[in-house]
Chains A and B, each alone.
Chain A
Amino acid sequence: GQNIDQPTEMTATEGAIVQINCTYQTSGFNGLFWYQQHAGEAPTFLSYNVLDGLEEKGRFSSFLSRSKGYSYLLLKELQMKDSASYLCAVRDRASGGSYIPTFGRGTSLIVHP
């Protein structure tokens, strides 16, 4: 099984930087995803890490340390529209060879002026 832990809620100021952490325990790690989900909408893909290090994509960056079971999502130059839930998902190789992404409970980010 998997254990994925991320903070329940964070608040930040428009224009600032925020880091959302995710720790996990898994037996057959095969990649980590970050998704963004606005209230009442479907999750949308933000980033994917399978090797250690930092992946940068515009204002968003994601970091992975496999040895520590740790990832973070870094959001720069925060905008009001960044207020959403951020989901960490770990892909694990299940019995039978399939790859199954398992999600954490999500971190609700509130950006205020």
Chain B
Amino acid sequence: ETGVTQSPTHLIKTRGQQVTLRCSSQSGHNTVSWYQQALGQGPQFIFQYYREEENGRGNFPPRFSGLQFPNYSSELNVNALELDDSALYLCASSLAGGELFFGEGSRLTVL
């Protein structure tokens, strides 16, 4: 039990729609990272939030955006969904860049 929870666990959207994924970090963790994992691939870094500020971003377009709230929970928003956005989206919390604790992920299917 890592303490990191994500919702929803599964969802289906159509191309062009928008999606919001949510993550509650482990108690005491102030850093949240989001990763996209396609089937058979390793997790790809999207962005990281520390104390409500984005402090690192991977090679993802601006239609991928996020928020971190005062209780350190976080959201990932994706606009104008494309078929290639179909993937498992993993949230991981940590304490100031230490070991990552992952949630079970949100599996997004874009039709």
Contact = CB atoms under 8 A, between A and B. Distances in A.
Interface residues of B, number: 24
A95 B46 CA distance: 15
Contacts of A104: 42
Contact of B56 (A41, A48, A98, A105): A98
A102 B45 contact: yes
Interface in B33-65: 33, 35, 40-45, 48, 50, 55-56, 58
Interface of A: 33, 35, 41-45, 48, 87, 89, 91, 94, 96-106
Given A42-B105, A98-B55, A101-B33, 6 more contacts: A42-B102, A87-B43, A91-B97, A97-B55, A99-B97, A103-B45
Interface of B: 2, 4, 33, 35, 40-45, 48, 50, 55-56, 58, 90, 97, 99-105
